[in-house]
Structure 1
Amino acid sequence: MGDDNNFSRRGFMAGGAVIGATALIPTPLERLLNVLSTGFIHEAQAEANGTAGARNYINILMAGGPLRYTFDAWMRTNPSDTQLDFNPMVATKYVSSGGRVTGVEYSSFNYNGVLVPHMFSHTVNSSAGQRPLTDLLKHMLVIRGFGTGFDGHPFNATVQQAPVGGVSSVMGLAADYSSKTFEAVEWPNRGAYGNYMSLKGKALNKLTGSPLHSLLEGFGGPQGGRVKGRDLKTRNRDAFDLAQARLRAYAQSDFAGSTVLAKNLSNASDLMKKGIGNIDGYWTSAVNRYKSIIESSMRQSGLVGISDIPLISDQGNFWRVHVADGNRGLTVHPDFDMRSAVSTMTESGGLSEGLALAEYVLKEGLVSSLNIQVGDLNNVTLRDAANGVTMAHTGIKDMHETGAIPAVLLTTAYYRALAAGLLELIDQLKKTKVNNTDLWSETVVQIISEFNRSARANGTGSDHGFNQMVTSVYTGAFSNGPYVVGNIIKGGHGGGYTGTQGIGAAIDGYNQAGRPTPTMAASTVAALLRVPKNPYENLAAPLVELSGNSLRVMKTAKIVG
């Protein structure tokens, strides 16, 4: 190819394959080393050009639409707010009498000037020991009071990810300004619940099986055993040497970023060596670490106002639980203490794997934009009053037939699991510095579900709340939270859905008339992502603004009516 200093840009970006011109079929390792070296060059160019790019983005989907009142569907958030019209499904804590639970209430406490749900008064487990959940509040923004006006699980999930046609989705927006090796990754495949678009043609890598192995399969051996062991060893060594030569040549050139790359050649070499090595050592221990933290926090007993006194059913409708087999409501047996329902609960659907994946790819600088998800609640032990049978259930997040009392216990356990996992991820990202800034300060996490729930006023369950949607966002870009934006109305839908439950309301002086749509939420998230151009702001302005490491709310959240 001639002298290293005279390599053309096209030669580096397109033709600079590490396998050389004589190899016929590249092994997976050779392909991956080529992608990695290209990624290092792109990052060096971005830094040299002074384009910091967007913050890293993690989207966590909770499919099934669980009730969110115990966690991030905040109702009365300011002491000056009007008092709520009570709806028993909008509850965060138990009321007791005579040593037994007799009802529920919406209970909150003041943290940094914001009234937050009772759950945040507790602690959860982490690898560093017990952690107060208020540590999560410091980095938390609640965006409430928006809706779509249309029903349907997949539609309401996808429209939050890509609320405006013809422009990048939120995940794609983060990928558009990425210089990482893999701009966008999704695990597991969201199918009809996914909606990814990148105007700059950044690819979404949909992973299968074990996600980290799937992403980094190029670090493994060839497929089908076509290359003998001795030949493979030689080719892998040659591929690594060629990749290093490519980077050194670029570092010695006069292309943009060459000086930056020259300073980071050692880091690039270390990452390649680490990738070539065995990732199983990291993967198994990291997944087990997250799983232990998540499940122990989920099952924790003795929580004040939640699991510190017996939960004994009176067999009324308040005690029904939605179970997946037949979408029916199981009424809890009067000889069964509901607290034991969570003592056997397990995490499924990949939250521990997703967070372990996020930790690795962000710390190693491989990925900018990531879709993961929370699975269902597995092994929820319940005794049916109808037949006296005790068994483990799953698929109870779609809470049509779950009454007010089990809902508080189950959702508190569910969100404790999510919060504990998030705090562990935050702790790990804080340990890694990028250009003298910790990685958590360069990361935004958004939690979505299809919708919050329309709560029945008789406490017997809930339905699809597509006009009372909420999303919560977490980032180390600020540490003086929590914050809340978006207006809600004091009343309910009427009929069987009375009481305050978070239905979206118009915002005075806002550039989107009437009840805001998911574009409002997407625009606000885009502001936190630090993208150079927010494609949603002309339709719905962001409701927050970052100033240094502090957040400024542009429109104060209110209860209307």
Structure 2
Amino acid sequence: MSLNSRRRFLKQSGLAVTGLTLGAPEALASALVKNLFSSSRAEAADLVSPRYYLNIYAEGGPPRHVFDHWLRTNTEDPNLIFNPSTGTAFTYDNNRLVTGTEYRTITHNGVLVPQMYAHLSAADRAAFLDSFLVIRGYGSGIDGHGFNAALQMHPLAAAPSLSGHVADHTARYFEALQYRSRFSSSRFVSSKNVSLNFLTGEDPLSDLLKPLLASTDKARALRTGYQDVFTNVRGYLNSLSSERKSVTIAKKSLSNAYDLFKSNIADFSSIWPALLSEYQTVVETAIRATGLAGFNATLDGSQSIAAISNGEASKYKMNGTSSFIIGTGKNLLDTGSSMTMTRLISGLALADYCISNDLTGALEIVSGNSSEDLLMDPTGGAVSTNMYSMPNDMHNTTQYGTVFVTTLYFRGLMAGLLHLRSKLISAGKWNQTIVQLVSDFGRPYTTNGSGHGYDQMISSVFSGVITGGPYVVGNVAVSAKGHVGSDGYAAPIEGYNQKGKPDPKMMASTVSELMGVSDNPWKNFAQPLVKLNSNGTLYLPFGKGKLIE
């Protein structure tokens, strides 16, 4: 059965949902129940879905040098021209008072990675970095937050977007979901008229699954309707030739799905709070940890607020304001004790459920600031006169502030991803999952701090498909005109089919090679920088990324 035939069948049997805006409880409840046998339908139709694709959008383009915007990754690379705002750890004196920052690295599988990875246990560090790919050294050459975020999702007008490419080939019930709107930073394009389904609300599972509970007449009516759905599908399968092995498998799977549906219908209401609490604990524990290497010192509020040698603004300055002062005797490095990441936490919890239950092919979530992503005075009061939130757009956030805030942010992200990995391993899904982190752009550094890095773009992939990492592709320059020090400015790749610095099609083409889809719509315009071997290692046709003088 072709993909088009399958879609006709789904529509005729009342099983298709096209272009929903998921806010009505009935919509997701219906989808969840029907999805219990979606794999059976796919197998009966002789379809093979691509891998699960989770796209995380780091809103506003936070500096990423402590996490994945790696500047010098090879011992044979030339030395960096240091800028204190691209530091990855603090330096301190004999009294353990902070004196500055440095670009500090450790080595993992022969690759130089930022100091933050030393905070992980050896097992967790291997679990993360062995499955990690950094794609750097590309850019658009054009400014704009929403423009560049959307461009990276859809870099070629004649092709689908990244999520759309997966959605076009998936046999899962929801081809594509987006949780928390990205507004102008979003672009979803399908070559097969698949629609992106938007999911809203603070409790995307518990609130939307209430119709499955037996406490109302409405719920009982819905349950009866789902029994009719099972009958409908069973009748369709009975009409097919039983000589087809796929039909026999589908019938058995459908029977198992119906039993599962009956036994678990009363349990949905507890799923979301438990998942949310689980990820909240993991992420917040990582953010709020103290005494970590490179951060186990004191940045006292009484230290002078003086300009540093290259003319940058205050060491304490955050997002254009110097009011982030905590006072004598208080340690700036203790102000993360109340920080959380609400949108990332809920997004990862949803990803856990959707992938574990084979619900969707592509899921887009958001990691970014909210009213609760706060740095707080260590005595419990607000920093200065206001609580300080992780900003959307970290202009003029220099030296101390950049290193400190982004380390908290990415420690939380990394812990959440490691927990998702463990859950998906248990569900048997991790070896088919691709997690990609994108943002508006990277960050350049001039004398005024952090600008818009539309020529310093960065993306990374964490996936159970990959082994033997970390891998780094794409070249960056030691320096760029008008910039202070090395900041990841894109550099040409020798022999590549794009002249000069590569554009976002390079990133899309490279990620496409990992998606489990046979075609790569970007390769004629930008060749992929990786090829996946059967054992999960990556072949790098243009070699590993370099720092270019």
What is the TM-score of this pair, normalised by structure 2? 0.87
Select which of 431, 449, 453 maps to 1:441.
431
Secondary structure of the structure 2 residue equivalent to 1:89: helix
* More displaced stretch, 311-320 vs 95-104: 311-320
Which range is displaced more, 309-318 or 517-526?
309-318
2:384 pairs with 1:389? yes
Q: Distance in 2 between matches of 1:161 and 1:487?
A: 21
Aligned-pair CA distance for 1:506: 0.8
Name 1:225's counterpart in structure 2: none
CA pair 194-29 structure 1, distance change in 2 beyond 3 A: closer
The residue aligned with 2:458 is 470
Among the aligned pairs, what percent are the same residue?
A: 35
Task: Check whether the contact 2:37–2:257 (CA below 8 A) recurs between aligned residues.
Answer: no
Amino acid paired to 2:200: T
Per-residue displacement from partner, 1:66-105 (whole Å, max 9, x unpaired)?
A: 1110000001101111111111111101111132110111
Equivalent pair of 2:29/2:212 in contact (CA under 8 Å): no
The residue type paired with residue 454 of structure 1 is P
**1:251 corresponds to:** 237
Partner of 1:347: 341
CA contact (8 A) 1:32 1:216 kept: yes
8 Å CA contact 1:41–1:247 kept in 2: the answer is no
Pair 1:431 & 2:423 matched: no
| Separation in structure 1 between the aligned mates of residue 240 and residue 9 of structure 2, nearest angstrom | 13
Q: For residue 355 of structure 2, what is the amino acid of its counterpart?
A: L
Which residue pairs with 2:323 in the alignment?
330
**What's the secondary structure of 1:245's corresponding residue?**
helix
Q: Tell me whether 1:484 sits opposite 2:472 in the alignment.
A: yes
1:375 equivalent to 2:368? Answer yes
Match of 1:412 among 401, 407, 410: 407
CA displacement at 1:308 relative to structure 2: 3.9
Give the superposition deviation at 1:109.
1.2
Local SS of the residue matching 1:250: helix
Moved more, 466-475 or 327-336: 327-336
Counterpart for residue 291 of structure 1: 280
The within-5 A match list for 1:131-170 is 132-170=124-162
Please give the per-residue CA displacement for 1:244-300, whole angstroms capped at 9, x wherever unaligned: 222322333326742231231244225544774342211001101111111111011
Q: 2:204 aligns with which of 201, 212, 218?
A: 212
- Residue 518 of structure 1 deviates from its aligned partner by 0.6
Alignment match of 1:541 (pick from 497, 515, 527) = 527
| 1:524 is the counterpart of 2:510 | yes
* Structure 1 residue 396, shift from structure 2 partner: 2.6
Could you tell me whether the CA contact under 8 Å between 1:121 and 1:134 is conserved in 2? no
Who is 2:18 aligned against?
Answer: none
1:321 and 1:330 in contact (8 A); partners too: yes
Equivalent position SS for 1:203: coil
Residues of 1 paired with 2:422 and 2:157: CA distance? 37
Q: Deviations over 1:43-71 (max 9, x none)?
A: 33543565432111011011111111000
What's the CA shift for 1:397? 4.6
Q: d(CA) in 1 for partners of 2:69 and 2:520?
A: 26
In structure 2, stretches of 5+ residues that fail to align are 16-23, 307-312
* Partner amino acid, structure 1, of 2:105: S
Number of equivalent positions: 518
The DSSP-based 3-state class of the residue aligned with 1:64 is coil
> 2:541 maps to what in 1?
554
- What is the CA-CA distance between 1:203 and the residue it aligns to? 1.6
CA distance in 2 between partners of 1:270 and 1:314 (Å): 68
Cα pair 1:174 1:369 within 8 Å, conserved: yes
> Does the C-alpha gap of structure 1 residues 233 and 146 become closer, same or farther in structure 2, counting only changes over 3 Å?
closer
Partner of 2:70: 74
Counterparts in 2 of 1:302 and 1:308: CA distance versus 1, 3 Å: farther
Give the Cα–Cα distance (whole angstroms) in 2 for the partners of residues 553 and 183 of structure 1: 30
State whether structure 2 residue 183 is matched by structure 1 residue 191: yes
- Is residue 2:304 matched to residue 1:314? yes
SS of residue matched to 2:403: helix
Asked if structure 2 preserves the Cα contact closer than 8 Å seen for 1:444 and 1:476, the reply is: yes
Please name the residue that 2:440 is paired with. Answer: 450
Which protein is richer in strand relative to its size?
1
Structure 1 residues 517, 211: CA separation in 2 closer, same or farther (over 3 Å shift)?
A: farther
Asked if the contact 2:86–2:487 (Cα under 8 Å) also holds between the matched residues in 1, the reply is: yes
Cα deviation, residue 183, structure 1: 0.8
Alignment of 1:349-368 (within 5 A): 350-368=343-361
Aligned partner of residue 387 in structure 2, secondary structure: strand
Q: Taking structure 1 as reference, are residues 188 and 253 closer, same or farther at Cα in structure 2, changes over 3 Å only?
A: same
Q: Which amino acid aligns with 1:534?
A: N
Question: SS of the residue aligned with 1:115?
Answer: strand
Structure 1 position 44 matched with structure 2 position 25: no
Deviations 1:91-133 (A, max 9, x none): 1011111321101111111100111001001128xxxxx9734
Number of the residue aligned with 1:25: none
Instruction: Determine helix, strand or coil for the equivalent of 1:179.
Output: coil
Task: Quote the offset at 1:10 in angstroms.
Answer: 8.7
Describe the SS at the equivalent of 1:197.
Answer: coil
Show the 5 A alignment for 1:222-237.
229-230=216-217, 232=218, 235-237=221-223
CA distance in 1, matches of 2:126, 2:177: 30
- The CA distance in 1 between the partners of 2:87 and 2:499, in whole Å, is 31
Cα offset, 1:189, TM superposition: 1.1
Q: CA 1:220 to 1:33, structure 2 compared with 1: closer, same or farther past 3 Å?
A: closer
Alpha-carbon shift at residue 393 of structure 1 (Å)? 1.4
Q: Does 1:117 align with 2:107?
A: no
How far is the alpha carbon of 1:34 from its aligned partner? 6.6
Q: Which one-letter code corresponds to 2:108 in the other structure?
A: Y
- In structure 1, how many angstroms separate the alpha carbons of the residues matched to 2:128 and 2:210? 36
AA in 1 matched with 2:305:
Q
Q: Is the 8 A contact 1:382 1:390 kept in 2?
A: no
Q: CA deviation at 1:303?
A: 0.5
Letter in structure 2 aligned against 1:379: L
| Equivalent AA in structure 2 for residue 135 of structure 1 | A
Distance 1:219 1:509, change over 3 A: farther
Gaps of 5+ in 1: 1-7, 19-27, 125-129, 223-227, 434-438
Contact 2:48 2:171 in 1 (8 A): no
Out of 402, 421, 432, the residue aligned to residue 416 of structure 2 is: 421
- 1:77 maps to a residue whose letter is T
| Structure 2 letter corresponding to 1:551 | L
Which digits, 9 at most, give the CA deviation of each residue in 1:385-423, with x for residues without a partner?
A: xx9935421143522121211211111111000000000
Question: Could you tell me how far apart the structure 1 residues matched to 2:385 and 2:376 are?
Answer: 7
Distance (whole Å) between structure 2 residues aligned to residue 248 and residue 388 of structure 1: 62
Q: Is the 8 A contact 1:39 1:179 kept in 2?
A: no
Match of 2:257 among 262, 268, 293: 268
TM-score between the two structures when normalised by the length of structure 1 = 0.85
SS, match of residue 43 in structure 1? helix
1:5 aligns with: none
* Partner Cα distance (1:410, 1:522) in 2: 29
User: RMSD of the alignment, in Å?
Assistant: 2.8
